[in-house]
Structure 1
Amino acid sequence: MYQTSAPIRFALGLALATALSTATAADCPEPAAPGPTPYPTVAVTDYVLGCMIANGPNPDTLRKCACSLDFIAAAVPYADYERVETLMRLQQLEGVGRNAAYKSAPWAKEAVAHFKEVQAESTLRCF
């Protein structure tokens, strides 16, 4: 969902490792039970790192971002998440060419709108 440059990913990875190494068991909320269709590690990492870029690289934000993705994963099967992520990337492309169908098609608009509603709800619950 979010794209970052290599230096930013490295810095956030370092911040994430530091945050995890300084957190104690009492600092961490009870982990969510895995859903019937767990997201791949790459998707989880990409979402959480992008969320931390947007909200600040610290242990509290790490927990909030992970909570947000846990909420999304419980509401949106991974196949749907992957489709919406692709749609959103295509919609960000400049120009009127091949991506026009992804910007104006009702099915695409509905899929993105539904995902954004779930994401907004996750923000309300986790932040």
Structure 2
Amino acid sequence: MIRAMLTAALLLSAGMAGAQAINDYPTSARADYVFVCMATNGQTREMLDRCSCAIDQIAQILPYDDYVRAETVLAMRQTAGERAGIFRQGIAVNEMIADFRRAEAEAEILCF
């Protein structure tokens, strides 16, 4: 009986750890995405649902750390000056942005 309870507890905690790994985006990051998405696409209930769906899809594809890196690179690419040039070129940077764009495209297909 104790063995069965321990096994059940281990399985439950393993399942929760797996869910947390997939759902590692903080609520504030999801909300920021939805706010920007709605500002771009319209302030309607339909857009709230679609934008929420989009960030959920992106979160299933990209780990949060990769999402943050891609967002940072995209923001830095808009900065003028020589120092921001490092964010505009390079294989690793371009692959990071390509992964982010693919996740966004898949989210758009599924949600919009």
TM-score normalised by the chain length of structure 2: 0.78
Structure 1 moving runs of 4+ over 3 Å: none
**2:94 is equivalent to residue 109 of structure 1:** yes
CA distance in 2 between partners of 1:48 and 1:125 (Å) = 16
Q: What does 1:1-127 align with in structure 2 at a 5 Å threshold?
A: 36-95=22-81, 97-127=82-112
Which residue identity lines up with residue 84 of structure 1 in the other structure? Answer: A
Aligned CA distance change for structure 1 residues 42 and 77 (closer, same or farther; 3 Å): same
SS of match in other structure, 1:57: coil
How far did 1:117 drift? 1.1
Whose radius of gyration is greater, 1 or 2?
A: 2
Aligned length: 94
Distance (whole Å) between structure 2 residues aligned to residue 34 and residue 45 of structure 1 = 18
Q: Which structure dedicates a bigger proportion of its chain to helix?
A: 2
The unaligned stretches of length 5 or more in structure 2 are 1-18
Q: Match of 2:22, SS?
A: coil
Asked if 1 retains the 8 angstrom alpha-carbon contact of 2:22 and 2:59, the reply is no
* 61 and 35 in structure 1: CA distance in 2 versus 1, 3 angstrom threshold: farther
Deviation (angstroms), 1:41 = 1.5
Name the SS for the 1:104 alignment partner: coil
Structure 1: which amino acid aligns with 2:62?
A: V
Query: Identical aligned pairs, as a percentage?
Result: 37
CA distance in 2, matches of 1:36, 1:123: 19
Q: Tell me, in whole angstroms, the C-alpha distance in 1 between the residues paired with 2:90 and 2:84.
A: 10
Structure 1 gaps, min length 5: 1-32
**CA RMSD, Structure 1 to Structure 2 (Å):** 1.4
Q: Offset of 1:118 from its aligned partner? A: 1.0
